[in-house]
Amino acid sequence: MKKMKVVPGVCGLTCVITAEANDDDEINIQVETACPAVKNMIEALDQPLDPYEVCFVKPGNGPVYEAAENLAHGACPIPSAVIKCIEAESGLALPANVSFEFE
């Protein structure tokens, strides 16, 4: 199981994403957040997810970004964070931190 905390910015609606592989190596995603749009996005996912169908697509494509149509803000980092969490849980990438910082 991989868990990631995302502080998305000025909205202040922190999100904790949990990715957990099942016996078939498919991934289930859960979120803890006060953001109704992110909750709707996760509910729209057809779970469990095949990590190859999620991770090996062009940016903006695949099931996570299809479900992201529920989001109200195009710069929301949650879809990308969900994919990073799936990558790490499935062993397709190492769990490394990502950050955005204004200078």
Q: For the stretch 3-17, what's the b/e string if a residue is b when 16 or more beta carbons lie within 10 angstroms of its beta carbon?
A: ebebebeeeebebeb
Whether 95 is in a domain gets the answer: no
Q: For residue 100, what pLDDT band results from cuts at 50, 70 and 90?
A: confident
Which structural domain range is residue 49 located in? 2-90
d(CA 82, CA 18): 8
Within a domain: 29: yes
Q: For the chain, what percent of residues have pLDDT higher than 90?
A: 91
Count of the separate structural domains present in the chain: 1
Q: Return the pLDDT at 41.
A: 97
Q: What is the pLDDT of residues 16-71, one digit of tens each?
A: 999 999 999 999 999 999 999 999 999 999 999 999 999 999 999 999 999 999 99
State how beta strands 15-21 and 2-6 pair. antiparallel
List pLDDT tens digits, range 72-98: 899 999 999 999 999 999 999 999 999
Prior bond of 48 cis (ω within 30°): yes
Q: What is the DSSP letter of 49?
A: B
In this structure, the number of other CB atoms found within 10 A of the CB of residue 41 comes to 25
Helical H runs in 21-98? 36-44, 51-55, 63-67, 78-90
| Residue 93, pLDDT score | 95
pTM here? 0.95
